[in-house]
Amino acid sequence: MDSTEPSLSHLIQYPSRTMVRAARAIRCGPFRGQLLADMGSQSVPISAIAENRGVHNGYTNRPLSELATENELLWLIEVGLLRREVDGQGITDRFCLTPLGRQLISQWKSQACPDPTPALKDHIYNAVNRWLRLPSWL
């Protein structure tokens, strides 16, 4: 473990439902593992993810418009995986992982990257959570 990673004893204990929802959101989204790996070590600007640059950088399987890219990234912010980077002048166009995102990626690395292919039920649950925004107690 390098000195920038928190030790396991200092990790936030997220509810299992939170971890499952976060993993599902990633699997159902258009982003590839390379984006999350890069966000683990640096913030990534939206211009590197959108359009053909996203495909070229290994971040997406297909080109996404800037609007579609931002919508997908905002969903991952709502789930708790990403945050927008802030500088001295306010919010920037760069995104990076939250502690939840880092913990999930670390968990996946220790499990030798589980199958990222979402099942039909994953797509349904993700769509319900995303578009209907049901309260967590339901």
pLDDT level of residue 134 (50, 70, 90 thresholds): low
Give the start-to-end residue ranges of the domains of the chain. 14-132
* Listed residue (23, 18, 93, 65) closest to 83, CA to CA: 93
pLDDT higher than threshold 50 for residue 1: no
pLDDT score at 106: 86
Assess whether pLDDT exceeds 70 at residue 113. no
Q: What is the pLDDT of residue 125?
A: 86
What whole-number percentage of the chain has pLDDT above 70? 86
Out of 7-11, 80-84, 107-111, pick the least confident.
Answer: 7-11
Instruction: Check residues 109 and 21 and name the one with the higher pLDDT.
Output: 21
Topology of 14-132 in CATH? Answer: Arc Repressor Mutant, subunit A (1.10.10)
Cα(20)–Cα(17) distance, rounded to whole angstroms?
5
How far CA 56 is from CA of 47, 50, 123, in Å, comes to: 12, 10, 26
As a whole number of angstroms, the longest Cα–Cα distance in the chain is 43
C-alpha distances in Å from residue 5, one per residue of 9, 10, 83, 103, 126: 11, 10, 18, 10, 29
Q: What does the alpha-carbon distance between residue 26 and residue 49 come to, in Å, rounded to a whole number? A: 15
- Kindly state the average pLDDT of the residues 57-82: 94
Mean pLDDT lowest among 51-60, 78-87, 106-115? 106-115
Q: What is the pTM of this model?
A: 0.81
Q: What is the DSSP letter of 87?
A: E
